[in-house]
A and B are shown apart, each in its own frame.
Chain A
């Protein structure tokens, strides 16, 4: 018996001492120095956020602040977290609220005004209704990516069939049982696709979706399910050659001969823009503003495609080779006003769920 009473504390001690525990690894600084000046910037973001380590170091050296990244959940969870904690924000600056959620965040007063100097070509991405009339903007566009229908060109070539080109084509019996898309209720690209159809068909969108479902469209929970399991060019080699994905996806399906096996249908796209903003009530407003500027710097903008799979808003930045060659962006994406999205999201999703589960 004596053995065990010695053993247990010994094991516990050994676990802590050898670092097999997270105790003692947290940073215990309160975020201020001896004079009460902030020493760090806290960035609140979604789980897809990646900033290469050398760039993170660069920011810390230039600004003198320690950068703390708190990433979790998706864009929707992030927005709602910011709304729920607006009295006592989770950090100093937020990145990752997109144009489908931005209106809600603005209406709730989550962000403090900050007019960052935008790089060339970034003006077109500013959130409609934000700033203007001499008022400062609250949100700064950082990147964009369009959700588009993608097709497997090799599949259509092998089956001697023309691939579809428009949203109407997807409801054409010639393409029966070939399309797979993540659902709007559970997936952010799925929601973007629903918005694309709303932009295109107006109040008639439920009829379009009825036709789409009658034509054997398959719904999945998320993007990875649709692309990786059901799409013919995905990791799992599925059997559906039409999938909902991004305009950049063709840059990732390059065959041995150097051409891409897939392409995006540029008439079916809805553009998602991601924004950064200084949080109202931030402890370190100065550092937050510096970080927003840093995210617009040429180095970070150039790193966006490889680290986060999105296009920069700075049009002067050079894209990676495969992107320049195969990732074509839509020139006139389908659009829905952010205020309309905020006002109707509930109703649209409810009606969409009804139409698709009939």
Chain B
């Protein structure tokens, strides 16, 4: 009974937030589609699902997201090994840079990619522009960082001794990886894969920009139906497809994630230096570096071009409002606004995320309890899989009456971003918490520690590093978030992605150069913040 009460108590706040800012708006938007002139019309919605176009769109979404996830895992897992289990100069910087794609607005990434692979670009001869391959490379570009971070965090604290023992007994590296390391990493890998799949399945700009309009995904279709045609019936049908797909995905992953004994033996042995036998991870990391580095390099080169020569003119122009008022505000103040919003989104998603992770990762005592925890876990993944358009329009039509008259609240933007970041936070924290031997908590309790003290002495030290990783994610998600942000009424102060979008949408060489320069500023800021977060170490906790 007490356990149930604790469970309910811990879950209450996150559930309330999710209920008001996600379930209510999405349900409101979907029911708009079901009611035609005040009459419930289920048949019309179901009809949409049998259209050949709908089937084609759903099929493309599934296979492109699967391919994007597979590529991200293939590149991300070896890279995670190198970046989190090996020591080499420049490791921290590389880790920070690889997270940069995560925050870049898709419109800029699209332009950067197309400058490379477009007909006139240096890689134009590949004929990659407008192909499904370009879309999948773009998806991996954005998501490989998720795999590296989530898997790397788990790998870092993995005890190397079982693997060493296996090797001493004569097992080859591949065999050791397959039988010892991989099973221990499985929860983290499956977690990362499910998040990446959802990101890929709801990718929006990348599909349209790199696919040359030949491909549509469920997400792009909902956008078109809602903002252009106001065909809410069809949009509701597709939203339901999205929700069903997530439920199926979660059911599959919760099975794959379950391991007989999630307890992880931990060690903080100093990682060995990079060596010759690390060539597979080195190769994969180089590939990742090329995939992420080339478009970023294209951005930097473009931003330094002024007229026919080179210079810093584009960067200097960012601090003023521009001679033609091309900028709404100086990019510097937009950057400050972005950072402030990101701070809010980060603390919101972290505080909710810790609560949820604690609730879902504790060992269950009965089947019903396990089911309840599993359900909660799935519930908080939903915001990743539902279209930002549905959520954005839903806010407008449901949060307009007291006591929930929140349409004009400036906190709506960070809250929406926190909800998008929440699944990432939970997915980073839950495996670490699940890996703690429950006997440690019991021992603490039997020595007289209360639940809070037990959490602080047993859970928190293990949670610390994943917490930093999660904070980095949440911050990055918020800095780069554009979908939901652009649908919510913004205050007079735009964020940097909005300024970039504005600049690149108008003719004039200067606007283009400034958009690229502003993107580079956003990228550098992200990398610096990530580096600082990684350096943040609390001595009493670091020495576990």
Contact = CB atoms under 8 A, between A and B. Distances in A.
B227 A186 contact: no
B131 interface: no
B16 to A, nearest CB: 19
A83 B509 CA distance: 37
Nearest to A234: B512
Nearest to A249: B507
Contacts of B486: 47, 72-73
Contacts of B337: 22
B540 interface: yes
B129 to A, nearest CB: 9
Interface in B109-158: 110-111, 114-115, 118-120
Contact of B230 (A5, A104, A235, A253): A104
B400 A88 contact: yes
B505 A236 contact: no
Contacts of A47: 486, 498, 501-502
A141 B114 CA distance: 37
A213 to B, nearest CB: 11
A117 interface: no
A81 interface: yes
A130 interface: no
B492 A69 contact: yes
Interface string B484-510: 001111111000001001101111110
Interface in A1-40: 1, 3-5, 7, 12, 15, 19-23, 25-26
B340 A19 contact: yes
B4 interface: no
A185 B509 contact: no
Contact of B227 (A21, A76, A235, A236): A76
Contacts of A50: 325, 328
A186 B487 CA distance: 16
Contacts of B457: 1
Interface in B219-250: 220, 224, 226-231
B302 interface: yes
Given A4-B460, A48-B502, A235-B302, A73 B227 contact: yes
Contacts, number: 180
A57 interface: no
A352 B460 CA distance: 57
A239 B110 CA distance: 17
A346 interface: yes
A116 B507 CA distance: 32
B487 to A, nearest CB: 6
Contact of A12 (B328, B340, B347, B508): B347
Given A223-B505, A356-B213, A357-B214, A4 B397 contact: no
B324 A306 contact: yes
Contacts of A227: 507
A230 B509 CA distance: 14
Contact of B507 (A15, A22, A245): A245
B487 A225 contact: no
A238 B340 contact: no
Contact of A349 (B209, B229, B341, B413): B229
B540 A3 contact: yes
25 contacts: A4-B456, A4-B538, A4-B540, A22-B344, A50-B325, A69-B492, A70-B490, A76-B227, A80-B393, A84-B230, A84-B393, A185-B213, A186-B213, A220-B213, A223-B505, A224-B505, A225-B111, A225-B114, A228-B504, A235-B511, A236-B512, A252-B506, A253-B507, A306-B324, A345-B228
Interface of B: 32, 107, 110-111, 114-115, 118-120, 205, 208-209, 212-214, 220, 224, 226-231, 302, 324-325, 328, 337, 339-341, 343-344, 347, 393, 396-397, 400-401, 407-411, 413-414, 456-457, 460, 486-492, 498, 501-502, 504-509, 511-513, 516, 538, 540-541
Closest 6 CB pairs of A and B: A235-B512, A26-B410, A70-B489, A239-B120, A221-B208, A252-B507
